[in-house]
Amino acid sequence: MAKIKERAKVVLIPGDGIGPEITEAVLEVLDAAGANIEWVRHEAGLAALEHGADVLPQETIEAIEHHRVALKGPCTTPVGEGFASVNVQLRKQFDLYAAVRPVRSLPGVTTRFENVDLIIIRENTEGLYSGVENEVVPGVVMSMKVATEKGVLRIAHWAFRFATQRQRNRITVFHKANIMKMTDGLFLRASDQVHKREYPNIEYETAIIDAGCMRLVQDPGQFDILLLENLYGDVVSDLCAGLVGGLGVVPGANFGEDTAVFEAVHGSAPDIAGRNAANPLALLMSSVMMLNHMAEQTPAYADIAERIRLAYDQALLDGQKTRDLGGDLTTDAFARAVIERL
């Protein structure tokens, strides 16, 4: 099997919960496929805290600054209290403003729909994730939704450029600008403007998010690229995962100007952690996105990415599935099934 000759260095953050298990499975597949990557391991999240470090240690930040590409397992965030999300901190630290989440029907995975092939583009740094929350007076709290002209314009440009490069021809913006006339209004006007002035040949439509969600669950095949602000992108990503088999099969990438962090849409799944039961496919698919990104510098990575993609599609077609997809394979057994088909 062909191997990449020059070793690339990539930062690896195994993460919490199921993170370490699915990461090991993914590394085995990449290694067997000849990706020849030197993994620069660093911690973040609970794993870092447990070793007496900060939740997002300085060494982890410096390593990503240096290598500019990272593969990341999910990190746990306490609900309703405790430290701020490491995932959100990382996105802010490196200004990873564009999250890309391809959602497609998979061979051998039976769901209500067979024709889903859409890409979610989520603004990743603004909106209600600004982290500005405070108690106005006792019993009254508020959370600030932030949109900046710079932020909304750059994600709109990013989405239209991406659509052009990928030969995708339709963008739908979900918004709630009827209610949030300023913040969502700004987001909507920026998308309208970029479309009209620079990309009039790309089909473009807008939908109020509630009606958009109804259309998604009735007929997801009508959508191509969905462009959403931060919170809507988060929620709609999981909704779309449900259309194609669940959180175990939807990958993701977070892009900034010069840094990219690849991670699955799902979280650390504490309910199944430590049982060798998680589906490593979403992180494996994220690693395929990473290889395609690395192929912009070293084209041979694209062949390895394609080989892995064909192998996991074939594994699914052959009925090799983890429990979330109705099969009985463990995390590492699924990785072996993919390796056998490389």
> Which residue's CB is nearer to ligand NAI, number 130 or number 206?
130
CB of 91 to ligand NAI, least distance (A): 9
| E strand intervals along 215-337 | 225-228, 253-255, 260-262
Residue at shortest CB range from ligand NAI? 267
Q: Is 278 in the site for ligand NAI (CB under 6 A)?
A: yes
Q: Identify residues 279-338 at the interface with ligand NAI (CB under 6 A).
A: 279, 282, 324
| Cβ partners under 8 Å of residue 284, min gap 6 | 25, 26, 29, 251, 308, 312, 335, 338
CB of 242 to ligand NAI, least distance (A): 10
Q: Identify residues 243-272 at the interface with ligand NAI (CB under 6 A).
A: 247-248, 263, 266-272
Print the binding letters for residues 48-87 with ligand NAI: x by CB under 6 A, - otherwise: --------------------------xxxx---------x
CB of 279 to ligand NAI, least distance (A): 4
Q: To the nearest 10°, report the CA torsion of 211, 220, 278, 285.
A: -120
Single out the residue of 93, 72, 43 nearest to residue 267, CA to CA: 72
> Which residue's CB is nearer to ligand NAI, number 26 or number 194?
26
CB of 22 to ligand NAI, least distance (A): 6
Helix (H) or strand (E) holding 236: helix 230-244
What is the amino acid identity at position 212?
G
> Which residue's CB is nearer to ligand NAI, number 46 or number 227?
46
> Which residue's CB is nearer to ligand NAI, number 79 or number 136?
79
Q: What's 342's DSSP letter? A: -
Q: Is 122 in the site for ligand NAI (CB under 6 A)?
A: no
Size of the site for ligand NAI (CB under 6 A): 20
Rounded to whole angstroms, the Cα distance separating 231 from 126 reads 9
Q: Which stretch binds ligand NAI (CB under 6 A): 100-108, 165-173, 179-187, 275-283?
A: 275-283
> Which residue's CB is nearer to ligand NAI, number 19 or number 151?
19
The whole-angstrom distance between residue 291's C-alpha and the CA centroid of its chain comes to 14
Question: Could you give the C-alpha distances from 68 to 12, 13, 62, 293, in angstroms and in order?
Answer: 11, 13, 10, 11
CB of 276 to ligand NAI, least distance (A): 11
Single out the residue of 144, 94, 125 nearest to residue 234, CA to CA: 125
CB of 199 to ligand NAI, least distance (A): 30
User: With 0-12 CB in 10 A as exposed, 13-18 as middle and 19+ as buried, what is 271?
Assistant: exposed
Q: Is 36 left (phi over 0), alpha (psi -120 to 50) or beta?
A: left
Binding positions for ligand NAI, rule: CB under 6 A: 18, 74-77, 87, 247-248, 263, 266-272, 278-279, 282, 324
